[in-house]
Amino acid sequence: MLKEALPRQALQNLDGFSALGRVARRTASVFVLSIGLTACNATTSITDLFGTQREAPVETTNSNTVDPMSAPDQGLIPDANPWPSDAALPEGEGAQLPTLYNDDAAIFEKRVALLLPLSGQHADLGKAMRQAAELAMFDIAGDDFVLMPIDTSGTYQGGQDAARQAVDAGAKMILGPLFAESVSGASEVAKSANVPVVAFSNNRRVAESGVWVNGLIPEDQIARAVGYATSQGRFRFAALLPQNDYGRQIAAALNTVVSRVGGSLGRVAFYQPGSESLQQTIRDFANYDARRANLRAHKAQLEANGSAGSKRALRRLEGVDTFGELDFDALILPATGGDLRQVSALLAYFDIDPSVVQFIGTFGWNDPGLFSEPALKGGIFAAPNPENWELFASRFERTFGKQPPRISSLAYDSTALAALMARDENQMSRDALTNPNGFVGVDGIFRLTVDGQSERGYAIMQIGPDGAKVVAPAPASFDLVF
């Protein structure tokens, strides 16, 4: 097994300073190699991820048997001082590998392709993810590991062409692409060549045997948050979803997610983001008119009674817009950004009180611009534990002079995984990739399943006056199930 081939201690500051001179010659582009890294000087250590936190289980459908007391045995991030080395990563232009298409070299080199949108409207994101991958290579990779970034342009055809170039160049594994459309294009080529794909997409519809979706999947985030809500006594769920592919994807999973944790799913409504009908949709969803009519009828009844108790009840109803309970006590809201801001404000206007109804979101809620929204106070969402991300982001900024995009951690963790696999004698086999104990990286524990899915351990975050705080930590292992 992997833990015998490479113990966790071996990942602590691998190769030290000798790794620095190898980064340029082990990062090869099929077209042009250009690293251009700035100096980095860091002394911060990663916290120990093999702790004993067990009170926040993660939902999983994986049927593999795992030692119930074992944490993931493969750490992908160094946990010894310092992280990274005090030395600088190399600067300037690297040279294209002259042996890139040399079959003799491919015999001993562990070539891994990195498929990203390196041109077009998402080029900046692709570049940042490439830089994160290079950091992982610096931390984990051996001398024979070669990373080959290839541009997909973010399209289906681009993904297909990039995968073909990767296979022709002798790639043993493909990391990426980022977008589902590109993954679909790349998977056709990769499967025919029996090259495993670990994609960064969060759309599980493109997952299949040999093509893993290793993004932060929204359905799994909702499953984690719904399970936490039931532990807090919330069992009656409703959902308000955008009328688009994303909303329909969420809707397809809701019945299974809610019933699995003992809850019941009531009304599910769709709205058209930004449409003129949005206000009426939410008014109807809140059953506002009927509840308003109930208030008028109840006030009339109290006034007719005329007793002292009725008069006190009337005073308590002053300033109240509606009367009567809703048929749900938890509301799933996977909207993000401006849509979420608009929807949550309308929910409050139509008297759905977030102090009464538990609002549930996704990792897309992890946006400081949303934390000041009054209607979202007390709302919860699932997310990776933030501590490791903060350390990673700080290191990335010191290295490249900018803050990384949040999903750049996917490139780091996946590249670290590939580098770890390359050091094992099985050489990136499917059995090694689907180790049921999983792995631990910047985004916490994760594992890949035989059907192409991924599973992660999420923390529960709650929005409060000072931003989002962890109210239930991510699990340390995959043995606990809701």
Specify the pTM.
Answer: 0.80
User: Does position 349 have pLDDT exceeding 70, yes or no?
Assistant: yes
The span from the CA of 107 to the CA of 77, in Å, is 28
First to last CA, the chain: 28
Confidence of residue 404 (pLDDT cuts 50, 70, 90): very high
- Tokens standing for residue 190: 């990769």
Sheet holding 444-448, edge to edge: 74-75, 439-441, 444-448, 454-456
Q: What are the φ/ψ torsions at residue 319 (nearest 5 degrees)?
A: 85, 0
- Per-residue pLDDT tens over the stretch 253-307: 999 999 999 999 999 999 998 898 999 999 999 999 999 998 777 777 877 888 8
pLDDT higher at 313 or 120? 120
Give the residues across from 145 on adjacent strands.
110
Q: What average pLDDT score do residues 359-377 get?
A: 95
Provide the pLDDT for residue 425. Answer: 66
pLDDT at 348 over 60: yes
Work out the average pLDDT over 375-386.
96
Question: For position 96, what pLDDT does the model report?
Answer: 36
- Backbone φ and ψ for 104, nearest 5 degrees, come out as -65, -40
pLDDT score, position 320? 74
Q: Which pLDDT tens digit goes with each residue over 96-109?
A: 333 344 455 556 68
Q: What average pLDDT score do residues 3-18 get?
A: 29
pLDDT at 418: 95
* 114-148: pLDDT as tens digits: 999 999 999 999 999 999 999 999 988 888 899 99
Question: What pLDDT is stored for residue 95 in this prediction?
Answer: 31
